Amino acid sequence: MAYTVSAREANQRFSDILGRAAKGEAVVITRRGEPVAQLIKYGTGAAAEANSAAWDRLVSALETGFSLGGDTFDRDDLHER
């Protein structure tokens, strides 16, 4: 369960809030009772997963090669040029 805090309280206790997030606790920041942001530990969450998936796709494409309408090239060919 995420720790919920108002924007005002987050502003006043930022160091404490940041420490909680660094320990892996999700912190939801609200404005007028409505959630507006979530502070999470760096390297976790959907963005980190999307980043990892993008790197996996890039490595796979480099291993299989690219088609540019002519010859294909792979990672080893890039280093030879």
CATH of the domain at 23: 3.40.1620.10
Q: What is the pLDDT of residue 50?
A: 81
**Exposure of 10 by Cβ count < 10 A (0-12 exposed, 13-18 middle, 19+ buried)?**
buried
Q: Are 50 and 74 contained in the same domain?
A: yes
Q: What is the pLDDT of residue 7?
A: 95
Q: Are 33 and 15 contained in the same domain?
A: yes
Q: What is the pLDDT of residue 80?
A: 66
Contact 2, 28 (CB under 8 A): yes
Residue 61's domain comprises 46-80
Q: Are 32 and 52 contained in the same domain?
A: no
Which segments in the chain show pLDDT lower than 70? Answer: 1, 66, 72, 80-81
Model-wide pTM > 0.75: no
User: What's the pLDDT tens digit per position in 66-76?
Assistant: 677 777 677 78
Angle at 32 between CA 48 and CA 11, to 5 degrees: 60
Q: Are 29 and 50 contained in the same domain?
A: no
| Separation between Cα atoms, residue 11 and residue 78, nearest integer Å | 49
Q: What is the pLDDT of residue 70?
A: 74
Q: Are 50 and 76 contained in the same domain?
A: yes
Number of domains in the chain: 2
Largest CA distance in the chain: 60
